[in-house]
Structure 1
């Protein structure tokens, strides 16, 4: 929020409202002119240095000069802010940069003094000169310091060792003793109160072990502390840790130590409960203080709807997601909120209002401190002081200011509650105790069966037995009491929802318990489902709808995160944004093959899961879903090729002249969730290193796709369709591929080519491949020989997939999907020389209709067969979603479709009708 600038007539009164500013002006006759000159500028470190040097040149010590400079900086900010020349961003940035300047100047001077006495601190392992790293924490770390704030610091150094002396007058110290003495001197130089005041108050309480811990810690001490003693609230504090001094290599090493402590590799929804507890403790202390001092009851920082709640709103998502998304590791509250809006994690309008409210609260906080340069966040009790604050806030009265403040605090409190309010339903507390007691009693099965029957379960006994078996398993019994309580709460919440699933009650129940048992030891997932009941409801609906979906979510529980935002879950894929995000994340982990492979899997699974959710809600046709899954596969293949190429040390060019050609379901854009990828690899490159490097690339591509990582695999890869099959080279040159297709390929390979297309890689190869494909498919063929070979090949496939059940196999049986696909391939190969449009890779349904329009087959029969193919695919898809390996169904459900297919087969191949 930008405050309305005051009129020229109002400025004197507004400036007089700051007693600190008036006292400073009265301290010297030249100060008003100095302030008028300096306040025309936005202050920078270069200006700080100029003014400091001028003070020192006039005879002041560094400590004295720095304190005088500090007072001038604060008064300049007061004047610029109150006169409307500076906004909140300038105020917090300037005072934060000044804090950096103070620490750096004093540390440099004190280090020189210490080295003259004790020598140079040196690492015992590396032999490198050691420097003290000063970490700025809290608002200082995020460049969001307030004008009268203390500064939270932590002192570190890289290696233990001793100082190296250069003459006999110096006394060697251990590095720890050296930096401890240096740290004490630094704190005194900055914070001791003299006649000129102080530079900053210093707070060292955030260091490992707090006030009882050593003042300075080596990297080894910091790492050991994080591993053994680091507490949850310290993760929150270290989010903002920023090195203000030190060697760049040492800072990078320290950040590698800090990062795994602060940011979890998984989505850490347990952070919500931890921050909720921390906030409750802070609020309890504020309430206690307010009860003792009612006149101080309006705290804009720690009170309800205050600054701290905005900070928690931003930082909880950093702790939850920052381990997986580096863009959420920014130390600034405002920047983090904007990133959350940009990523769709928080609503954009809500974030804009949060930033507006945050700005209002920070502006008010500054004016509370402008009054007397006191570190306060509480609205004053004295009427005169209240009027001064109102005046600085451009309000005509205190009542007007409070009326402006109230809606900001109410909005912040509302948004805070939406995230942090305890989601436990107190109304189910009695039921939880009952269920827990039942599970532990000798009569538990009978009691539970009765309870579940009353709740509407048709197979209550089976449900009860499964629940008892799960609960008494070692996996559940080994959980902490907190996790078991969360499990009980989730089960109680799930019971009435599963009861509404009618025929799928028992199946859904078993699937849910399988899932809960899998995630039981990951308390973050239990926390997510507890904090977001609508996510649990969505899980139950998906598990009732599809066994495949249940198993997919159980294998990849990280996908629970996708269920939180219903709007994004239903959005059609933005493939441009997905591709950019994919490339960005792969670039962030360049050089870390394992993490890149995980990234590919995580992003693929997340998008696949979104499509699955839309599919189960009936928002996608089978054809549309296949198109989207095929596009997703294309993008993953393209990204994998480029990333894998960068890992080949011997690569002879930056961008490979290499392409992946898709066959089968991917080639025909008929991919399903669990399809493998039928591909071949082509290159067009005369460099002598090309064959070897592209063979490495193909092998590495297969490894990246098929390797089992913690996130699973991407795709199974089938390369049997390459020239000469299993005996052929893994990678073919474009020229050899063309020769093979024109001179040596079997007819079935040309059948496969009808469904082939360029998938990813070099665009020039794509164009040449399409030319070759078009040329091969348009060859004139002997009709009788073609018919005989197609029928013969179909018989071989049928003999290899004999159906001994009484059900109809949608794929393999006579009149099924493969028959339709063979007929389309036959029509393309038979007539493409005459009708080039038949070589277009437009799918079986479109090609059937095109053949009908061209008069190659009966148009009505073409339409019926096209509808049959669509219906058979839909049935197959539905069966596969229930986890069935074979898509078989009662023949009565597809009688018309099978009849149309068989009729078309008979019209094309005469008496060679496949047997029923």
Structure 2
């Protein structure tokens, strides 16, 4: 058969023809004829010249084993992807045959699959991800079978290893590191492994027992020999054990206890980096999961850890030194803009944020990049560019390594391998490939430099910084920066310097504080009141000084430090929230999101995605996620309000939406937990049969920053029915426990506090009533037993989470109750009396504090407006049902004006007063000030409210209080 070399450059075509001739001569006449016949029947004849020309490794392998080509073509495996399980299943079947020997069979199996993998990669029948997956699966199969046979052989001599405490048989867990751990192995890679066994003990042989450590050391050595030893058949995989504790000087195997002790006491930053991709590839799945859980706290810090950047910088500096020393500038892995820099970018975010954003706790680099985009750590365009560059670089790596089956990432220098590499990569000329490579490398290097590269050194600024911290700090230096209260500010800084928390800092923490404080002092000096801003930020510094990665985060992100100082200077409430919950500093990294409060649909999607990444049974993690979600989004609302991006109505909307989506998720989490235990309540209709109604500010879409939640729980299920699980309980009991679980999730004190304070006293019969009520019992209570003030509260009742069908039924009850015809005189007197009692109870002697106006309870204040609106709804809804539609005061006032029940001018004046009061209350809340104003404030608004109050109630009251 004449080899079809059309399309190949002549240099490569000649190489292919020479290799083919050598194969035919080696095969002999009969096999050569059979090869020619089989190749003519399929696409392999057209693919073969490219593979032979571009891979001397394949050409030499087929010269030595021409039947391998015949068998592979006949098998059809050159043209198809294989399922994951096929690799180990096939190898296991081969080793189970009579007379099978481990070492030669492993090497024959490796030759088969490496030929297949390189063929498919070079002919672009497989994409990059299939190539690395197949190479990884080949390695995993070889490891697993070598281990199984080696351990079985040793057990025949020494018995099975038994755990001292558990009494259970032990298995060696091979921890795959690096690219094998991530299933990203390249086509000629060594494999980095760590050998671990669960617990100490000894084997159960009566004649020749040995310790578990000795047993597994022997097994480990046997596995290494089976894979790494070079024989006449070659090798399987080069094995590198240097990543184990203590490296080459350490024990070959470690127990779980020894491994945990090492990483807790001596684990270094580069080992955290290495462990990101660690994956158990053998052993009992339960014990493998236990090992992964044991390692996770070492790898991923619970807080945002920007200290990882400096560690990665250190590793990169070491790599750069090695690159220069060994002349590796043309290395596609270690050189400028190479594979390692893409890995560093992804793993930097994993180390910084992986403890909190569990979606980053993945091994595969491309999945991590996708998660970085999802979390907005990287812009979509950057994620797309890094992905494309990474795949290009990995393809280049395979073209280099598949050429001679050597573990190299250096670009070739000779003409023939350059022509081969350009051909594999799809370029006619080497120069064209090199130009494309340079574009990708420049892109990677640019993104790497923005994230990890060293900040600019400024010797003059460094010298100046010495005068702003430590023993050289002085009142004069502060004054020179623009601080106006030098003695007080200097005293506060001295107190921090001399505090026990700072005095006992480790060297690293002390150095970070030394770098941070001058930057903080300069940043505070740029705002209107430097002393006040610094005073508010110092509690945060005190709180995080022992977790100095937060200080590094602010040093690494100067705009975030500016935002921190600006926001804390503007609001002590924000300063207190961040000091109490330093993880919120992470929100300062994305200025676009910090000053943008999402709408409800985006909030709902974000929260569901965050909770979905967590374990379904990990209630604590879910509760933590809910608390962070609330704290971070409330911070965004406050920041947006402070810079004027959100008017009052939108502030309340945003805060209310946050509460609603949290309640939806709390209900979903509670529902999943209870139905898993008890099954679902039997009902006549679909849905959960449970609705959450918000009253008060939540119902009125008027939440503030510190508002609690007034809630009522209502359910609909067949009386006497039960859940359908094995542990069946009565429907009423189930829904009561559902409400209790929701309260537990919301009110449990955790590291980030409660979600909200809750008030359930507005339910039927208040504290003495049932926690959850049926629709029927709720309706009966409202009709027969509720007080007027409870009907007033019902005006502001609104469905906020749960089953829409239940909500519709409850809304019908609400509308019917609010639309009852009432005696105007009796109603007016009851509402007026309730308002006076409330004022007397909340404000001494029925008056404001001397010289102050209480925005909420004062005469002509917020509650007066609310009572007038509620009175109007209860009085006129039987004639104007539209009034019962709304739960918020502004829209009810709008309806009253449209229906002519209030003068339009009155409605506008009351609405304006209401919004002005609430805006002032929001601002006071952010300043942590009481909700009062000087007595003379808001004179026009108060007059309008008093006038309308007199008009509504004076005709019905014998002795109207002078307002």
- Normalising by structure 2, what TM-score? 0.88
Aligned to 1:113: 153
CA distance in 2, matches of 1:115, 1:669: 71
Q: How does 1:86-235 map to 2 (within 5 A)?
A: 86-165=126-205, 171-235=208-272
Residue 313 of structure 1: how far off its partner (Å): 1.0
Tell me if the contact between 2:468 and 2:477 (Cα under 8 Å) persists in the aligned partners: no
Q: Is the 8 A contact 1:96 1:143 kept in 2?
A: yes
Query: Is the CA contact (8 Å cut-off) linking 1:682 and 1:733 kept in structure 2?
Result: yes
Helix, strand or coil for the counterpart of 1:498? helix
**Deviations, residues 156-193 of structure 1 (Å, cap 9, x unaligned):** 1222222223xx8x622222211111110110111111
1:253 aligned residue: 290
Distance 1:701 1:122, change over 3 A: same
Aligned partner (choices 36, 42, 61) of residue 81 of structure 2 = 42
In structure 1, the residue corresponding to 2:336 is in which secondary structure? Answer: coil
Task: Identify the residue that residue 293 of structure 1 maps to in structure 2.
Answer: none
Matches within 5 A, 1:495-510: 495-502=521-528, 504-510=529-535
How far apart, CA to CA, are the structure 1 residues paired with 2:80 and 2:735?
60
> Do the aligned partners of 2:336 and 2:441 also contact (CA within 8 Å) in 1?
yes
User: What is the CA distance between 1:900 and its match in structure 2?
Assistant: 1.5
User: CA shift at 1:892, angstroms?
Assistant: 4.5
RMSD: 2.6
Q: Among residues 542, 556, 561, which one is paired with 2:567 in the alignment?
A: 542
Within the candidate set 832, 835, 845, 1:794 is matched to 835
SS in 2 for 1:661: strand
Residue 774 of structure 1: which of 815, 819, 840 is its match?
Answer: 815
> Residue deviations 1:80-122, cap 9 Å, x none?
2222222222221111111011112222222222222222222
Aligned equivalent of 1:276: 313
Aligned length: 895
Structure 1 unaligned spans of 5+: 291-295
Instruction: Give a deviation string over 1:454-495, Cα, whole Å, max 9, x none.
Output: 222333333323222222222222223332333343332233
Task: Measure, in 2, the Cα distance between the counterparts of 1:597 and 1:56.
Answer: 51
What is the CA deviation profile of residues 10-35 of structure 1, one whole-angstrom value per residue up to 9, with x for unaligned ones? 66366323222222222244344345
Change (3 A) 1:478 1:124: closer
Q: Which sections of structure 2, spanning at least 5 residues, go unmatched?
A: 14-46, 682-686, 722-729
**What's the offset of the Cα at 1:325?**
2.8
Residue 947 (structure 2) aligns with: 903
Matched, 1:303 2:335: yes
Structure 1 counterpart of 2:697: 665
Kindly indicate whether the alpha-carbon contact (under 8 Å) linking 1:586 and 1:643 is maintained by their aligned counterparts in 2. Answer: no
Counterparts of 2:99 and 2:813, CA distance in 1: 86
Give 3-state SS (helix, strand or coil) of 1:184's partner: helix
Q: Is the 8 A contact 1:659 1:765 kept in 2?
A: yes
* 1-structure distance, mates of 2:119, 2:871: 85
Offset of residue 74 of structure 1: 2.2
The worse-fitting range, judged by mean Cα deviation, of 262-271 and 460-469 is: 460-469
**Equivalent pair of 1:428/1:492 in contact (CA under 8 Å):** no
Cross-structure match for 2:826: 785
Within a 5 Å distance, the mapping from 1:214-613 to structure 2 comes to 214-290=251-327, 296-423=328-455, 426=458, 427-436=460-469, 439-440=470-471, 444=473, 448-502=474-528, 504-573=529-598, 575-583=600-608, 585-586=610-611, 588-613=614-639
Q: CA deviation at 1:250?
A: 1.5
User: Residue 23 in 1 paired to residue 23 in 2?
Assistant: no
Q: Deviations over 1:185-239 (max 9, x none)?
A: 1101111111121011000111122111111112222222222222221111111
8 Å contact kept, 1:56–1:62: no
Task: For residues 541-576 of structure 1, give each alpha carbon's deviation from its aligned partner in whole angstroms, at most 9, with x where no partner exists.
Answer: 211221111111111111111221223334442544
CA 1:719–1:69 in 2, change beyond 3 Å: closer, same or farther? closer
CA distance in 2, matches of 1:194, 1:632: 66
Instruction: Provide TM-score, normalisation by structure 1.
Output: 0.92
Task: Tell me: CA distance 1:600–1:322, structure 2 relative to 1, closer, same or farther (3 Å).
Answer: same
CA distance in 2, matches of 1:840, 1:27: 86
SS at match of 2:203: strand
Give the Cα separation in 2 of the matches to 1:228 and 1:160. Answer: 20
> Once structures 1 and 2 are overlaid, which stretch shifts more, 92-101 or 641-650?
641-650
State the Cα distance separating 1:429 from its structure 2 match.
0.6
Which residue is equivalent to 1:754? 795
For residues 755 and 348 of structure 1, what CA distance do their matches in structure 2 show?
Answer: 43
Paired with 1:228 and 1:798, the residues of 2 have a C-alpha distance of 62
In 2, Cα distance between equivalents of 1:162 and 1:462: 68
SS at 1:760 equivalent: strand
CA distance in 1, matches of 2:453, 2:107: 45
2:739 alignment counterpart: 698
Q: Distance in 2 between matches of 1:371 and 1:335?
A: 29
**Quick one: distance in 1 between partners of 2:97 and 2:644?**
78
- Specify whether residues 837 and 453 from structure 1 end up closer, same or farther in structure 2 by C-alpha distance, changes over 3 A only: same
Greater Cα shift, 47-56 or 534-543: 47-56
Inter-partner Cα distance in structure 2 for 1:364 and 1:793? 80
Task: Between 400-409 and 191-200, report the one with greater CA deviation.
Answer: 400-409
